[in-house]
Chain A
Amino acid sequence: MTPAVNTAQNGPPSPQVASGSGRALIEGAGLIEIESLHKAFDREVVLRGIDLSIDRGESLVIVGQSGSGKSVLLKCILGLAKPESGRILFRGRPLQGENRTEFLDQFGMLFQGGALFDSLTVWQNVAFRLLRGKNRKRGSEARAIAIEKLHRVGLEADVADRYPAELSGGMQKRVGLARAIGADPAVIFFDEPTTGLDPVRANVINALIRDIVDELGATAVTITHDMSSVRAIAHRVAMIHDGIIGWSGPVDSMDQSGNPQMEAFLNGGLSAARTD
């Protein structure tokens, strides 16, 4: 099934839009460009040709129903999963070898479950890259930076010496966020940042993400199906449906997308729409 495609571009980042062959291809001087990305697990095809451009300084939110391939796309970008075909370019160069290392050094990632290292204290988690990377810092200096980042996400210094297992889910998310911004990255990825949090805490995390991304001037790529997150942090929204980008456009035009899958997703009735 080929979904209807509708694209619109008039948000903060304004790349050119081209559509054809039932897909939306957003062209421009993207920081990260994804071209015709295919990924399958055994016989199950998850991504059927993703074309997407992510511009410097924009906050792109990728939405889609569970199992649509959002996380797989993110893993492909990060090099954690190898696509069958297609290209991912970072600053116009393929994400392989040295270029991938350069890319990894410039981004931060907030995982869905936090993915904090159990055996390390909170500050060691936050300062992980600072303690080991090529721009390694002394322990005391790294700790000071970690505590500053913890403050930035609303945590007091007294959590610095605790272990992740001693923290609540919301606090773990904040520590994960502090780790993601630990080395002042140029690109930050957020995988389901509000999953498992109550609405109040989810709003706090959304606000933190929005403020921090603006403050750092970073490019943000978020994967979520939480529409309150989308509205809070997105400049632009891309929807994955049936393994391709089914719709993409500024967050403001999301409600008038004219795309049946997007509308069904917004109304929480995607499954009903598919049945029809």
Chain B
Amino acid sequence: MAYHKFDTVIVGAGGAGLMAAIQMAGKANIAVVSKLYPPRSHTGAAQGGISAALGNVEEDHWQWHMFDTVKGGDYLTDQNAAEVLTRDAIDAVLELEHMGLPFNRTPDGRIDQRRFGGHTRNFGEGPVKRACYAADRTGHMILQTLYQQGIKHNVNFLNEFHVLDLLFSDDGRACGVVALELRTGEIHTIHAKSVLWATGGFGRVFSVTSNAMAGTGDGFAIPFRRGVPLMDMEFYQFHPTGIYKFGILLSEAARGEGGILLNGEGEAFAARYAPTLKDLAPRDMVSRFIYQEIKEGRGVNGKDYVYLDVSHLPDEVIDAKLPDITDFARTYLGIEPKREPMPIQPTAHYAMGGLPTDLNGRVLSNAAGDTFPGLYSAGENACVSVHGANRLGTNSLVDLVVFGRRAGRDMLDYVKHADLPPLPSDPDFYARAQVSDLLSRSKGERVADLRRELQVMMMDKASVVRTAESLTAASNEIRHLRDRYARVGIDDHGTTFNTDLTEALEFGAMLECAETLVTGALAREESRGAHFRDDFQARDDANWLKHTVLKKTSGGLELTKRDVSITEFQPKERKY
């Protein structure tokens, strides 16, 4: 057992965690804990761009960006948060450039910008060039740049530490985490005045996903088990263009640069559904268009995929602006995208929901705006909510930079004044119990079998289209999987780098994420953004222009509703 003391412990070393760390480095004693090495974080897989109304190539205003974010979120977006997101985006992108991020440039040397889904000029008139980008590896460059800044500022990284528990002092203040050091198997108690959760998403609960294998929702499940609420968990985004069967992301930038979707009859079908924005309609809609085409028998060769076609684009545009995704098509499909269309299907991509926070990343404990002192969250892990019921492309990168930065600054202020809360008695008891329980079990079902069942079931019953029937069945299956999970066995009982153990722990987190997603989806009897109920196809503002908040209680999950901030834009029908 090891003990460490810091002002702040940051869980997760992706964009949000690193951005927060950079604000605090040198000014407070901090540690960044990651179950990976920081440059392996999933921020690095983001491709197309990061939006900011710089207006470098055509007229743009942050108010237009704010409107698009609100409308894209089907009016569930908190408008006070969308304002902060889109105003701060401009300065945040410039800060990234100043840190050295190699953005693509205009001929006169400014940051170049391109089109992206749902981003429009003058409140919906037509597409606008707003996404700043570094080829189709913008997330890679953000992650590298922020990690480099972390090195420059001597940030203390605890790499390959798997976090197991969140600690609260007896008076309800967050006071640290407990983590397993992979290399040694040692359990560490990391005592701190503030804790930031920035662990990314949980796409791995679905069988077809763009998410890394590390995306198992640890940062959702661990606080949730300790009584911290989760908000809007039913809103899970499916990105329209994942590589068929693999789920690997093919950026919306492909369509931003002029790529189109084709059905099995060779028709560019998006125009039929969204006459103005066509292929650049928001992701929730395009995923449903594809679902509908396949359902009506217009998939390619009667199968469950359609085509993304960029073959009509000039070769030099593909090489300069879409090199990575076209390389993916060559590697995984054996296809030359300059000549052939690419088979795609919607892929589980992004959690709009998460730990509810205020505008400074402080985790909210109730609708009145009270917080858990010392507890913070940012990035995909958090729900501010800037994405509402459906996130616009590029806004995840804006979110993690803007709100990672705000959380870091707020924590710096907080730790200056707060004292270190006392640890609860026997702080690592629960973490040690989890580990020793799993290590003691050699006979039983395999975790991988249960995981595959969960993933296939979630894809089938709780993905792009849902019904009360499918969700009730999903809920029952999750309960059943939970019972079986209590009896799994593992093969590896050693202490060194035991990934058999950590995969079993991760599956426990995935069950919490799946259960909260399904519970929220079953309760929400309307269709909004990424949440589509075949049995309640209309949006119902009278009853459901509300966030859903779930909390774990001794009597099961408790669901309450929370108001949406509406400052500028009254809800309207969402057409593109």
Instruction: Note whether A and B form a binding pair.
Output: no
Q: Spell out A's residues near B (CB within 8 Å).
A: none
